[in-house]
Amino acid sequence: MEQYIKSALGYDIISEKYDIPKNTPRYLIDGYSYNKYTIEGQDCLFVAPADFSLANYKKHYEKIRQLTGFIPVLALQGITPYQRKTLIEEHIPFVVPESQIYLPFLAVLLTEKYKNKREIVKFTPTTQLVFLYLFYNSTKLTATDIALKLNCTAMSATRAYKALTDCGLFSYECDGRKKYIVPNYKGGDLLRAAEEYLVSPKEKSVLVPYGTKTDGMTVSGLYALGQKTMLAVTDKDRCFAIPKSEDLAVDADLEDGILIEQWKYDPALLAQNGIVDDISLILLLKDNGDERVQAELDGLKRYHEW
């Protein structure tokens, strides 16, 4: 860390051994390691989290500053665009070796090009389903628990958990022999951090004749948005979602009828009163060009503080 800052900025740096104050709470002692540096005559305290949570660190930052009397500088091995944006907006110093330096007390912001450009890998259907279930439900669940709730294999659930922790959205937490994942963000912050990974749930859509039985299907599309908001819809807008695994008799020559969407994951698992869930609906209709539709989607996003 010391050598990186010297080479990147050309500043003089003095490092010193640092002993954390005796009255420091246990969660700050166990949660971080501390190193004192003097950079260009300015004392600061580099803090490296054992398990980084942006939401937690935002709370701990001021507490560390008050206890130590030094400006805390967050030392990370990696950072997501959302984490970087949030830290800068809140004027919280941080350093990521070979990547980012933000030291507002020295008026320094350095962003280096990554040696390997970070590739955004979109969520698989199972990972998105697991993510949304965890977003809507605050209960701690093991991979085995969530596999039972979402009718997927334990291996698929484990892979989804790994994907969610690998991208920094969740962290592992253990309770005895049980291993859970817990979100690193709350509410809308979690959605904003996950936005680049989320995809439309629709695989494809087809028309079926009017009169086709839709019992058990989940209301979707504009028809769902009309039931959730003030958007005016008619029976002509009727639309339903089913999992792509369900067979559906299709008349290729049909020009009018009921719209049936086949989804990448089972919409019924997240449905609210027989209607597709809010976040999936937003992702489904986000590219709709109707300003009225976008206005109502904005209202749903505000409801979830997204």
Instruction: Please determine, for residue 117, whether its predicted confidence score (pLDDT) is greater than 50.
Output: no
β-strand 71-75 against 42-49: which pairing, if any?
parallel
Instruction: Please determine, for residue 116, whether its predicted confidence score (pLDDT) is greater than 60.
Output: no
Residue with tokens 């003089």: 12
Assess whether 7 and 41 both reside in one domain: yes
At 161-174, the pLDDT tens digits run: 999 998 889 988 88
Domain boundary among 148, 165, 197: 197
Assess whether 92 and 133 both reside in one domain: no
Residue with tokens 């790994």: 162
Assess whether 137 and 226 both reside in one domain: no
Q: How far is CA 255 from the centre of its chain?
A: 39
CATH of the domain at 132: 1.10.10.10
Q: Band of the pLDDT at 78, cuts 50, 70, 90?
A: confident
pLDDT, averaged across the chain: 90
Number of domains, the chain = 3
Q: Establish if 117 belongs to a structural domain.
A: no
Nearest to residue 140, comparing CAs of 178, 87, 189?
178
At 218-267, the pLDDT tens digits run: 999 999 999 999 999 998 999 999 999 887 766 667 788 899 999 999 99
Find the domain containing 214 and state its range. Answer: 202-303
Domain boundary among 197, 220, 246: 197
Query: What is the model's pTM?
Result: 0.67
Q: Band of the pLDDT at 114, cuts 50, 70, 90?
A: very low
